[in-house]
Amino acid sequence: MTIKKTILFFLFISIQVTAQDKKWTLKECVEYALENNISIKSSELDLQNATVNKKDAIGAFLPNINASASHSWNIGLNQNITTGLLQNQTTQFTSAGLNVGVDIYNGLRNQLQLRKSNLSIIATQYQLTKMKDDMSLNVANAFLQILFNKENLKVQKQQKEFNLTQLSRTEDLVEAGVVPRGDLLDIKATVASDYQRVIAAENALLISKLSLAQLLRLDDFKNFDIDESQIPGLSESILLETSESIAEKAKETRIELKIAQSSVELAEKDISIAKAAYQPTLSGFYSFNTRAAYSDRIVGFQPNAANPTSVIGFVDGTNQQVLQPNFSPILGGPQNLMDQFSNNKGQNFGVQLSVPIFNGFAVRNNVERSKIALDRAKINLEQQELDMERNVYTAYTDANAAKESFEAAKTTLEARTLSHNYAKERYEVGLMNVFDFNQAQTLLVNAQSEVLRTKYDYLFRIKILEFYFGIPLIEK
């Protein structure tokens, strides 16, 4: 292996190790999800589409300009435009034109469409922001679930190690005849259960990593891990606010209400646009056209040798014939194309007024449908306000309940710890059997797990409440 290949090999290995050793912070997870989530990318396309619609609205103010050109061949029995006779021939024609049209007045529909397109962009931005907010909360919840499963796995492993120590001690006590052999069998069964709980905790941790990795659209979820040192801080200052003040703040800042309000404004614009169809429209037009032919043309005349004269009448009285000389046309090639285009050009311009008189109630029905849509948007806005108020009060109640559960779990853990220490002392001197000691040990582990569960549940409830109050989930 050459030196260059050796360097590249070790460089590749180091990159792989670095990628596997990377631990994601909550901020990195949220930012990565916002950049790579499919739903967010789709919403960003909606925003781009709304921007294109605005360009359409701006373009409606500009005139329509269209150029046209054609070239045709006519083959077969046709009238000769030079001689007027029918004959088999091939003729060619070229024509060109330019048409311009502009709206002078159309009931202000162009202005209304432009205002609506601006509102549509704002509404789409609100939708994108809401989707990012929802994604941030989902990522935070998945992140906290991994933290809980990590700590729960540590508790289960510590419990297993403790019971393994107890198993070794019990074996010594059985050999010494201090405790019966049945206690040894019980402690072995407990250790086996500990192994099962460790496996279950490992599986739960793996599933939680998979859930977050899927939100981030990462394939290698088995090597995915988070930075435990970047645990979000638990601040209780939000609970000093009243539920009413949080609700009022949410009504001012939350995207859901802004989306509903923008829907009302869009519906109002639709009514104005529909009513504009009642008004007359005035438009201006201008057209320019020219043409050229490729057939022969008459360039002069010469006496007809075969038929020099023709009778055109008779003299009264004498009945003498009146003759006139006959001439034959002299044909030449087609005229210069540029000269033909110049000589055959023509222009047409003017204005057109259209006054709606009766259209089968189409305009009126469109106005009525727009009014119904406005009423529906207003109802949705009222519903969103009620939902927002209910969600805030629910979040406030859940946060306080989670706090009380967390405090109660810590108190329970303190009591279970003291009880377990007391049980351990009694068991070691033979005053408690192994069954009762295992019960005390199980209660302690359950209390430890409950503290972890209530801790992260409380943390997440606080984050939701702060979210409604306008506090960002992560620092920018």
Reported as a single tens digit per residue, the pLDDT across 251-292 is 888 899 999 999 999 999 999 999 999 999 999 999 999 988
Looking at the chain, the domain(s) classified CATH 1.20.1600.10 span 25-151+213-296+335-468
83 has a pLDDT exceeding 70: no
What the block records as the tokens of 53 is: 């619609």
397 has a pLDDT exceeding 90: yes
Question: How much is the pTM?
Answer: 0.74
pLDDT band at 9 (very low <50, low <70, confident <90, very high): very low
The helix (H) or strand (E) run that includes residue 287 is strand 281-293
Q: Give the three-class secondary structure for 349.
A: strand
Residues 6+ apart with CB under 8 A from 198: 153, 156, 157, 160
For the stretch 320-376, pLDDT in tens is: 877 788 877 766 667 787 888 888 889 999 999 999 998 889 999 999 999 999 999
Q: Give the three-class secondary structure for 331.
A: strand
Q: Rounded CA gap, 224 and 212, in Å?
A: 9
What the block records as the tokens of 360 is: 């089968």
**What's the mean pLDDT in 435-453?**
86
Q: Give the three-class secondary structure for 231.
A: coil
Quick one: pLDDT at residue 231?
67
Count of CB atoms within 10 A of residue 419's CB?
A: 14
Q: Rounded CA gap, 470 and 248, in Å?
A: 11
- Beta strands 86-105; 64-79: pairing state: antiparallel
- CATH (residue range 25-151+213-296+335-468): 1.20.1600.10
**What's the mean pLDDT in 236-252?**
88
pLDDT band at 14 (very low <50, low <70, confident <90, very high): very low
CA quadruple 377, 383, 384, 385: dihedral sign: positive
Distances in Å between the Cα of 232 and the Cα atoms of 14, 138, 161, 235, 395 are 31, 15, 30, 9, 19
Give the HSE-up count for residue 450: Cα atoms under 13 Å, Cβ half-sphere: 19
